[in-house]
Amino acid sequence: MVHAHSIPIAEMAQHLAAGDAQAVLPDGAAGPVRLRGLWWAVSAGHDRYRPVTDPAAVTVFETGLARLAAHRQHRADILAETRARRR
Amino acid sequence: MTPEEFTERSLLGVLVREPQRIREVGPHLAGADFANDRHATVFDIMRQHEVSLTHLANAARADGRYQSEQWATVLANGLPEFARYGIGPAYLAEVIAAAPASGGQPAVYAELVMEASIRRQITELGYEAARLSAQTPPVAELLAAQEKITTQLAAAQQRWDAITQTRDVRRTLTGEAAASDGGDRDLFGRPVLPMPTTPAPSAEEVHAAQEQVIGGILRHPGVADALLGRLESTDFLDQELGNTLDAAQQVHAHAAVTGRQVDPVTVAWALQTLPEHRGPTPPPEYLHDLAATAEPNERDHAVDLVMRSSLAKLTTTAANTTQQAASHAGMAPADVLATARTAYQSVDTAARRLTGNTATDYQLGVLDNRATPNGAPTTAELAGLRSRSTALLQQTTAAPAEPSTAPYSGIGARLNAVESSPIELEAHSDAGPGPA
């Protein structure tokens, strides 16, 4: 039975490609995704995205996304600094 | 060793070798992100004692104790924290040896370690955290099928085009081939094809050259820039090396967006995302060794050998295809000629891709004037084979040879030019101590 609030992986991949959704893991389409203010994830052994309601899981996703974003910003700053030094 | 473990070791290798580079890692990575407890401990110590370790490294550099084994001892003795957790000079030396020879990209590795850590957390929560390619085998299969159909359609189209020009081909067969060829002839007036003057390189020699080329790409960003656009995985005899090239091309193509440059760690990571049907992938430590043993002095020769090997393979395939067509009772001469033309056009296309010129230019020996080990000509081994294929092509199809518009300057000169230009990278070439 298909859950009333579920999204097929392929459809979620389209949301990601269109920029409507944001994935925690940049390489992963099956990893947790934030879409329309909700977190969605595929439970082990399933093939569709469903909303995540567990607050502990949401915290892990939020923290992961924020940490990676902050690190990427740091990396960009370092690269800009290196380029400026070379000029 | 898994790519995750390889990435952790490579990151620690760079940091232990050059403690001041922990600054590049930034504040967001924590010891808890490492899957290996010992790695986590080393990282936490490095993080905690960043300033004193940098001073220690500067002092060691000043008094000449910065060779890897010596430095490992200085580090282990200079910071009691290491001994407290049972980390001695031998382990630190082992960690240093895991650092990529190219200098490494600690900020990139830190991101990969962080990604792996988040992936583990997601899995522990009971959710899928697999990669895109692992989740979509049907798409990969569809793409493969589509590619096959496209190839078949292109071949059919070429064949049809060739057959519809039968009048020209017949004229070629009856008169122009003999008139246009001024080479030696046998007793029956047939052209004598030149024979190879020296034996072709062995499969072992070609494999060693292919390892050198991949090692060079993994170690020197300039080599990657120069070669990744013109080599293809099919140029490699070894599937593992071919897949490594594909992964390197993937990293290289997305470098502007991801900021990840080609090196053993990023390529090992990218190898995970190749579709499973691509066959075997090499273990990460093999990539590390390839980069570490890449010998700049051998590179030109190796690149040349790989390119010639690929052309030889294609030429042999084309020759076999032509022979099979000629032996087929149901094929008219025009069909045989069309098949030959198509087969040899693929050789010419590959030659253009590899060298930037036509097969004929390549066959004429424009590469032969470059110095090679033992003074042997680099292309002589296979020049004969190419000569024969070109002569065969000219005789059978009279395909118009496209004139070369620019002299081929040599791969070595191109690589030198690329390497001497400034490269915007975080990689620090030879920044730290090498093996003692």
- Selected residues 23-42 of chain A with any CB under 8 Å from a CB in chain B: 24-32, 41-42
d(CA B325, CA B315): 15
Eight-state DSSP code of residue B401: P
Give per-residue pLDDT as tens, B107-156. 999 999 999 999 999 999 999 886 544 333 333 443 454 455 446 546 65
CB B103 within 8 A of CB B13: no
pLDDT bin (cut points 50, 70, 90) of residue B8 is very high
The model's pTM is: 0.66
Whether residue B377 has pLDDT greater than 90: no
Short-list B308, B300, B302, CA closest to B363: B308
pLDDT of residue B407: 33
Show the CA angle centred on residue B346, arms to residues B343 and B349, nearest 5°. Answer: 155
Write out chain B residues lying below 8 Å of A29, CB-based: 131-132, 135-136
Q: Which two tokens stand for residue A25?
A: 């893991």
Residue B122 to residue A83, Cβ atoms within 8 A: no
pLDDT bin (cut points 50, 70, 90) of residue A4 is low
d(CA A48, CA A32): 11
Q: How far is CA B203 from CA A31, B177, B281, B302, B363, in A?
A: 43, 36, 20, 13, 21
CB B284 within 8 A of CB B268: yes
d(CA B77, CA B56): 11
d(CA A43, CA B403): 61
d(CA B71, CA B318): 56
d(CA B383, CA B173): 26
Short-list A31, A22, A26, A27, CA closest to A57: A31
CB A36 within 8 A of CB B120: no
Q: Within an 8 Å CB–CB cutoff, is residue A43 touching chain B?
A: yes
pLDDT bin (cut points 50, 70, 90) of residue A1 is very low
Q: Which of A7-16, A76-85, B283-292, B402-411 has the lowest mean pLDDT?
A: B402-411
| Count of beta carbons in the 10 Å neighbourhood of residue B337 | 27
Q: Which residues contact B192 (CB under 8 A, 6 or more apart)?
A: B183, B184, B185, B186
CB B213 within 8 A of CB B310: no
Eight-state DSSP code of residue A7: E
Q: Which amino acid is at B38?
A: R
pLDDT of residue B183: 54
pLDDT bin (cut points 50, 70, 90) of residue B331 is confident
B165 vs B311, residue with greater confidence: B311
Whether residue B11 has pLDDT greater than 60: yes
Write out chain B residues lying below 8 Å of A24, CB-based: 118, 122
Mean pLDDT, range B69-97, rounded to an integer: 89
Q: Which of A26-30, B37-41, B412-416 has the lowest mean pLDDT?
A: B412-416
Residue in A75, A77, A86, A87 to test binding to B, most B beta-carbons within 10 Å: A75
Write out chain B residues lying below 8 Å of A30, CB-based: 128-132, 134-135
Q: Select from A27, A57, A74 the Cβ nearest to the Cβ of B273.
A: A27
d(CA B188, CA B303): 41
Give the three-state DSSP class for B280: coil
Give the three-state DSSP class for B429: coil
Q: How far is CA B158 from CA B45, B169, B329, B391, in A?
A: 65, 14, 21, 22
Mean pLDDT, range B207-236, rounded to an integer: 86
Instruction: Report ipTM for this prediction.
Output: 0.92
d(CA B179, CA B430): 60
CB B104 within 8 A of CB B6: no
Q: Within an 8 Å CB–CB cutoff, is residue B54 touching chain A?
A: no
CB B263 within 8 A of CB B104: yes
d(CA B189, CA A75): 70
Q: Within an 8 Å CB–CB cutoff, is residue A84 touching chain B?
A: no
Identify which of A13-27, B60-74, B329-343, B372-386 has the greatest average pLDDT. Answer: A13-27
Q: Which of B30-44, B208-222, B356-370 has the lowest mean pLDDT?
A: B356-370
pLDDT of residue B174: 38
Residue A75 to residue B127, Cβ atoms within 8 A: no
pLDDT bin (cut points 50, 70, 90) of residue B356 is low
Whether residue B102 has pLDDT greater than 90: no
Residue A71 to residue B259, Cβ atoms within 8 A: no
pLDDT of residue A44: 82
> Measured between alpha carbons, how far apart are the two ends of chain A, in Å?
61
Residue B129 to residue A56, Cβ atoms within 8 A: no
pLDDT of residue B229: 79
- Selected residues 236-275 of chain B with any CB under 8 Å from a CB in chain A: 258-259, 273
Short-list B95, B417, B411, B435, CA closest to B293: B435
Whether residue B173 has pLDDT greater than 50: no
Q: Within an 8 Å CB–CB cutoff, is residue A68 touching chain B?
A: yes
Average pLDDT of chain B is 71
Whether residue B15 has pLDDT greater than 70: yes
pLDDT of residue B418: 41
Give per-residue pLDDT as tens, B237-266. 888 999 999 999 989 988 888 888 899 999
Beta strands A22-23 and A33-35 are: antiparallel
pLDDT bin (cut points 50, 70, 90) of residue B191 is low
Greatest alpha-carbon span in chain A: 61
pLDDT of residue B114: 94
Q: Within an 8 Å CB–CB cutoff, is residue A64 touching chain B?
A: yes
